[in-house]
Amino acid sequence: MRADPEARLGAYHGACACGTVRFFVRADPASSAPCICAKCRGMGLRIVSAARGDFRLLTGQGELTEPISGARTPHHFFCARCGEAAFGFPDGPGGTRVSVNRALLDRGDPDAVDMLAEDAP
Ligand SMILES: [Zn+2]
Ligand SMILES: [Zn+2]
């Protein structure tokens, strides 16, 4: 899987439960991992890591909560309306990576879901 990471990257639209926060990301949902922060762990939330340059927030800029941050806690932004974790910057706001909530990708564009199915072995 590490040999050719670009091959599994797909383009996805993510949306929070209420649809306020929407974003575009190029990522590999199959590479999701449990979020390590205290808030998410109990919820079984999984995140997908992507390059910062492959992420674009489309709507909801003004509806995001303040990031939660701590020594072992990735930055997280939550939708202020539905409270769902949307995305975060694991290495800080100026970092090179973004981690998105895997669950949001499931509500993405149907075409993107089809792409995922085609990619499956
Ligand atoms: Zn929401
Ligand atoms: Zn978390």
CA of 31 to the centre of ligand 1 (A): 24
Question: Could you tell me if 95 and 52 are in contact, meaning their C-beta atoms sit under 8 angstroms apart?
Answer: yes
Core vs surface per residue 64-90: b (16+ CB within 10 A) or e: beebbeeeebbbbbbbeeeebbbbbbb
3-class SS at 46? strand
Check: CB of residue 81 under 8 Å from CB of residue 22: no
**Domains in the chain: how many in total?**
1
> What b/e string do you get for 32-48 counting C-beta neighbours within 10 Å, with b at 16 or more?
beebebeebeeeebbbb
CA of 18 to the centre of ligand 1 (A): 4
Is residue 10, in this structure, part of any structural domain at all?
yes
CA of 73 to the centre of ligand 2 (A): 7
CA distances (Å), origin 34, targets 45, 69, 96: 6, 17, 20
Q: What is the pLDDT along the chain (121 residues), one digit of tens a residue?
A: 455 555 678 888 999 999 999 999 999 988 999 987 777 777 888 999 999 999 999 999 999 987 665 555 556 889 999 999 999 888 877 889 999 999 998 675 555 445 444 443 4
**SS3 for 55?**
strand
Question: Residue 120: inside a domain, yes or no?
Answer: no
Among candidate residues 54, 64, 47, the one with its CA nearest the CA of residue 102: 47
121 part of a folded domain: no
Q: Is residue 82 part of a domain?
A: yes
Task: Tell whether pTM > 0.85.
Answer: no
Residue 90 is part of a domain; what is its CATH number? Answer: 2.170.150.70
The ligand placed nearest to the CA atom of residue 75 is 2
- Calculate how far, in angstroms, residue 15's C-alpha sits from the geometric centre of ligand 1: 8
Domain encompassing residue 10: 5-114
Tell whether 119 is covered by a domain.
no
The ligand whose atoms approach the alpha carbon of 60 most closely is 1
Q: Which of 106, 90, 109 is nearest to 98 (CA)?
A: 90
What pLDDT was estimated at residue 90? 80
In a domain, 9, yes or no: yes
Q: Which ligand is nearest to the CA of 88?
A: 2
78: nearest Cα among 107, 113, 53, 103: 103
In a domain, 97, yes or no: yes
The bound ligand whose nearest atom lies closest to the alpha carbon of 90 is: 2
